[in-house]
Chains A and B, each alone.
Chain A
Amino acid sequence: MKVLVAVKRVIDYNVKIRVKPDNTGVETANVKMSMNPFDEIAVEEAVKLKEAGTAEEIVVVSIGSKASQETIRTALAMGCDSGIQVETDADLQPLAVAKLLKGIVEKESPDLVIVGKQAIDDDSNQTGQMLSALLGWPQGTFASKLDFADGGVTVTREIDGGLETIKLKMPAIITTDLRLNVPRYASLPNIMKAKKKQIEVLSPDDLGVDVAPRLEVLKVTEPQKREAGVILENVAQLVDKLKNEAKVI
Chain B
Amino acid sequence: MSVLVLAEHDNKNLKPATLNAVTAAAQLGEVTILVAGKDCRAVADDAAKVAGVAKVLLAQSDAYAHPLAENVAALLVELAGDYSHVLAPATTSGKNIMPRVAALLDVAQISDILVVEGADTFVRPIYAGNALATVKSSDAIKVITVRGTAFEAAAPEGGSGTVEEISVDKDAGLSSFVGADLTKSERPELTSARIIISGGRGMQNGENFKILEDVADKLGAAIGASRAAVDAGYVSNDYQVGQTGKVVAPDLYIAVGISGAIQHLAGMKDSKVIVAINKDAEAPIFQIADYGVVADLFEAVPALSAELDKAQS
Contacts and interface: CB of A to CB of B under 8 A. Distances in A.
Contact of A235 (B135, B243, B303): B303
A248 B308 CA distance: 13
A84 to B, nearest CB: 21
Interface in A192-246: 213-223, 226, 228-236, 238-239, 241-243, 246
Interface of A is mostly: mixed
Interface in A48-86: none
Contact of B69 (A13, A136, A141, A232): A141
A88 interface: no
B91 A242 contact: no
Given A95-B108, A158-B238, A235-B304, A222 B132 contact: yes
Contacts of A178: 237-238, 240, 244-245
Contact of A38 (B219, B244, B286): B244
Contact of A93 (B73, B106, B108): B108
B292 interface: yes
Interface residues of A, number: 81
Interface in A115-129: 120-129
A7 B286 CA distance: 35
A229 B69 contact: no
A229 B275 CA distance: 9
A107 interface: no
B99 A94 contact: yes
Interface string A132-176: 111011111110000000000010011111111111110000000
Contacts of A242: 252, 273, 275, 291
Interface stretch (B23-31, B49-57, B181-189): B181-189
A161 B183 contact: yes
B40 to A, nearest CB: 18
B96 A95 contact: no
Interface in B76-119: 91-93, 95-104, 106-112
Nearest to A95: B108
B134 interface: yes
A188 interface: no
B136 A216 contact: yes
A90 interface: no
